[in-house]
Structure 1
Amino acid sequence: MKGRLIYLIGPSGSGKDSLLDAVRETAAEHGCRVARRVITRSAEARGEAAESISADEFARREAQGDFAMSWYANGLSYGIPRQVDDWLAAGDDVLVNGSRGYLPEARRRYPHLLAVLLSVDDAVLRHRLHARGRESAEEIEARLARNAGFADTLLAGENDDLCHLDNSGSLSETCQRLLRLIEEHRPHPLPDSA
């Protein structure tokens, strides 16, 4: 494939959805498409601008090979449409909202992917999670503890190619840093041998 998969991961509340929505148009100007996930939740559910379908429809589409990647987490099924492979083959980079748990499989399938861990200061994340109102205070603290442990594991050992992107500041700053990071890690073509 000529393009590169940019695999964005991060804890709930870190701002992945907001970042993807904010960077979509500018990323396209830089030759990077933002994929829209398919999720088994109601269309009324708050969150990312994903395609919401039933569990039965998801299973049917998965069985007929409609997804380049798919996984199950948090009681939901997630899929990345196989169209991303066409974009990659055409030379576009593709930015996806990935799953931390699916990262090893994504790396196997796309060996040259750029994994980007979006993080946010605990105090900022705690505030965002409380503002969302989806979890109790105890659940939020448990999530923060899990997130810290998982991030430590990801940043250690076999993940030397994992890029870290802090989203504790303004969204516009994070968008600019993400675009710079993608540019900095874009593979350069080998010179033609004469």
Structure 2
Amino acid sequence: MAGRLIYLIGPSGSGKDSLLDAARSRLAERGCRIVRRVITRSAEAVGEAAQGVSPEQFAALLAQGAFALSWQANGLSYGIPREIDDWLAAGEDVLVNGSRAHLAQTRERYPGMGVLLLTVDHTLLRQRLIARGRESLEDIEDRLARNARFTAQMIAGNDAGLYVLDNSGALEDTVEHLLSVLLKIQCGRGLAPDGGGTVA
């Protein structure tokens, strides 16, 4: 039985990297791999255990067909190694830290995928973005407005493959919610909670 792609999205500051770091070992115990992205900025690679490459190296990898998925955002290039297709074919679930802008294209390639939308309280998100000091207050307010519209549209669409995780509280609570979502996905594929057999 093929595995399922799980596509994590959420606004900057929602805590995607922190969530993946906290849940990594427990997801692995449940047969779910977290993909190591390839990014054209070494500093970001430190934050999320990604592989940092130069723009020239990224272009060469792309030309070689090294990526199952790739996109550009905020002046950076992102790539998801094509080996995820082997993992999925072997029955492993694969969690990708994805891009909201690339969601439609990813769905075309993996129509049965699940989408994890990580949300956070509007006021808390504003505080996190201000604390980063990367954008002006006007840019932050624009970002927050875009995020609110996107989140409302996603939820209103009532997508059966959409799971919403609220990361406004304790990180461990979000991890537990993530694990419960993974269990639902695996049971939906006919896997028992321990990862083997079928669900009665």
Q: Show structure 1 runs of 5+ residues with no match.
A: none
Structure 1 residue 88: Cα displacement: 1.0
- 2:8–2:98 contact (8 Å) kept in structure 1: yes
Residue type at the aligned position of 1:183: L
The alignment status of 1:185 with 2:177, answered yes or no, reads no
**Match in the other structure for 1:28:** 28
Q: Which residues of structure 2 form unaligned runs of 5+?
A: 192-196
Question: What residue in structure 1 maps to residue 49 of structure 2?
Answer: 49
- Relative to the length of structure 2, the TM-score reads 0.89
In structure 2, the partner of 1:7 is 7
RMSD, aligned α-carbons: 2.0
Q: Show CA shifts across 1:35-82 (max 9, x none).
A: 011111133777422211111111110110111100111111111111
* TM-superposed deviation, 1:153: 2.0
Indicate the residue corresponding to 1:110 in structure 2.
110
1:7 partner SS: strand
Partner of 1:123: 123
CA distance in 1, matches of 2:44, 2:177: 31
Secondary structure (helix, strand or coil) at the match of 1:118 reads strand
Which deviates more, 130-139 or 57-66?
Answer: 130-139
Q: Secondary structure at the match of 1:134?
A: coil
Q: 3-state DSSP class of the match of 1:12? A: coil
2: CA distance between counterparts of 1:58 and 1:45? 14
8 A contact 2:38–2:50 mirrored in 1: yes
Report the 3-state secondary structure (helix = DSSP H, G, I; strand = E; otherwise coil) of the residue aligned with 2:42.
coil
Query: What's the TM-score once normalised by structure 1's chain length?
Result: 0.92
Query: What SS does the corresponding residue of 1:71 show, helix, strand or coil?
Result: strand
Q: Aligned AA for 2:154?
A: L
Structure 1 range deviating more: 89-98 or 180-189: 180-189
Query: What amino acid is the match of 2:95?
Result: L
**Percent of residue pairs bearing the same amino acid type:** 61
Instruction: Output the amino acid matched with 2:183.
Output: E
